Amino acid sequence: TSAAITLLGGSVAAVVVWKWLSKKMIQKKMEEARRTRDEGLKKMAKAVQQFREQVPRVQTDAILSLPLLGLTGRLQEGSLSPRTVLYTYIEKVSALEVNQQTNCLRHFIPECEEQLQEIQQQKEKGLLYGIPVSIKDHIGHKGQLSTCGLVQFLDTQMKEDSVLVKVLKRQGAIPFAMTNVPQSLFSYDCSNPIFGQTLNPFNHQKSPGGSSGGEGALIAAGGSILGIGSDIGGSIRLPSSFCGLCGLKPTAERLSVWHIHLLNVDIYSHPTSVPCALGPMARDVDSLALCMKALLCQEMFQLDPTVPPIPFNGEVYCSSTPLRVGYYDTDGYFPLPPCMRRVVKETRNALQAAGHQMVPFSPPRIPFVMTELFLKTFFGDGGHAWLNVFTGDIIDPSLKPQVNSCKIPRLVKKLLALLLKPLVTIPPSLKDVMISTCRSVKDMWNHHHQIQVYRSEFITRWKELHLDVMLCPVLGPAFTTGYPGKLLTAISSTMLYNVLNFPAGVVPVSTVTEADEEELKLYQGCCDDPWDRTLRQAVSGGVGLPVAVQCVALPWQEELCLRFMKEVETLSREK
């Protein structure tokens, strides 16, 4: 007996020591990654200093204040040099007011100096000649890490540029920075244990959104003029909403995703399910249009034959024909704060006054879409595949509510749903997440079929009303950090158009007012339950933060979506 006890004690001690050593190894890797990032920042700061000594008289503020179209014009005509523009933006990022305050940068791309030399030798100037571009952490760049905020990927450098980065470079752009993301990308906050929490530049108590949160913070703070993000549930549109930017999620197949570290898609998705889309983020709609025009070129179509060879249609983007616009200010699933509904109504009135025809619309069966179509795509196996990506990692606190929920056995989830139902009001969202899984291959194929059926139903309703585009709300204003992890189902406004695979963009049109904040105190949501109260807490204290609307078109009609976004932007600026 004593031998058995000794053996058991030794085994327990060995497990404890092994866990301690594993944790120390993880912490060592994270410290090394942070040290490498800091060294990169110092090197770039030194390069800026050398440039300043050589070219002392640079009108920094004038360059940083130029919109993308104005900057490209100056670069094309030669009145500004790519070198001056690049180091002006690098200086802005490495300065105290951007990265040290928001923690938006994952790493500078040292190869940007090589690309600077490369474009000056090109025979023709591309559409983005000399433009510094920031890219999200998982968009592959040769020689750089693609971490997805996970320790396990800190040893893996990308062996080649993604197709999208190759096309950017061919068009003369200079990728110069990679931006921070939430751990595993599956969050609309922006925090991971390696590089920490990214903050909203307008209010450091608030999140920049996610998962393209580093992009949102960097562009909003003035450290980048154009960025590339990705979107599988709102990851371009939510940071754009939280940070007051314009962002476009195209139809998923419109831009190449080859050589992108698509952690979520590799694990959860299927080409016929809910695909990931790459898209631009910037300060205005014209910048998004220019970026799409530059990317939709022969180089893209040749490098990735799966991308339909459809060049950008400038005629559609520049059209002034009155539109027939569907609109709604709530999807009937997760009631948004009063300011978000207010701006949809104000935008509807402005569009109507400008001569557009406004048609009320009600999106069908959103509770079913959220739980049976969207969440089942990612958690159809009970969340096991997602949990596996955290093996050998420290879980970020912002993800713990979701991780803990996934760890509950399916039978226990069912029992909890039944036991809690008479005691508290459980939103359908929570109850369905608890029990919504694919239990067989037949279930999985039926799930894919249901998505196709829903897409057909939605398009049929759209066509019956003869709509051109849709105006609808987007989640916002910016949440206090830590709250996105508590309200996963609040993203119903954006996830709908991932399930449908429609192009959808976000345009800032207003800011939170004192009156909005007062009205928020009376907000009760569905039934003033704990989730409604959590939303109220998440968005409170937001006076002055950006408030946006969402603009949508049918698949492959990115140009029409952008044209509608431009109309909304113009009307909001006139107001």
List the one residue out of 523, 519, 475, 520 whose CA is nearest residue 497. Answer: 475
Backbone angles phi, psi at 541, to 5 degrees: 75, 30
d(CA 407, CA 344): 39
Task: Tell how far CA 84 is from the center of its chain.
Answer: 30
Catalytic residue among 136, 166, 206, 413: 136
468 near 560, Cβ under 8 Å? yes
* 469-473/546-552 β-pairing: antiparallel
Active site residue 136: yes
Task: Tokens for 447, please give them.
Answer: 């799930």
40, 46, 52, 58 alpha-carbon torsion, rounded to 10°: 20
CB 455 within 8 A of CB 531: no
Q: Point out the catalytic residue in the list 191, 211, 224, 287.
A: 211
- Note the helical H segments in 389-440: 400-407, 410-420, 428-435
Phi, psi of 138 (to 5 degrees): -95, 5
- For residue 78, the SS3 value is coil
* Residue with the two structure tokens 């060879």: 309
Contact 132, 121 (CB under 8 A): no
Please check whether residue 226 is in contact with residue 286, taking contact to mean a CB–CB distance below 8 angstroms: no
Cis peptide leading into residue 22 (ω within 30°): no
Is 230 a catalytic site residue? no
Selecting among 184, 235, 241, 572, the annotated active-site residue is 235
Q: Residue positions in the annotated binding site?
A: 185, 211, 232-235
Taking alpha carbons only, the member of 265, 264, 233, 263 closest to residue 249 is 233
Q: Which residues are annotated as a binding site for substrate?
A: 185, 211, 232-235
Q: Which residue has the tokens 């309200």?
A: 487
Nearest-angstrom CA–CA distance, 158 and 362: 44
The residues annotated with a catalytic role in the active site are 136, 211, 235
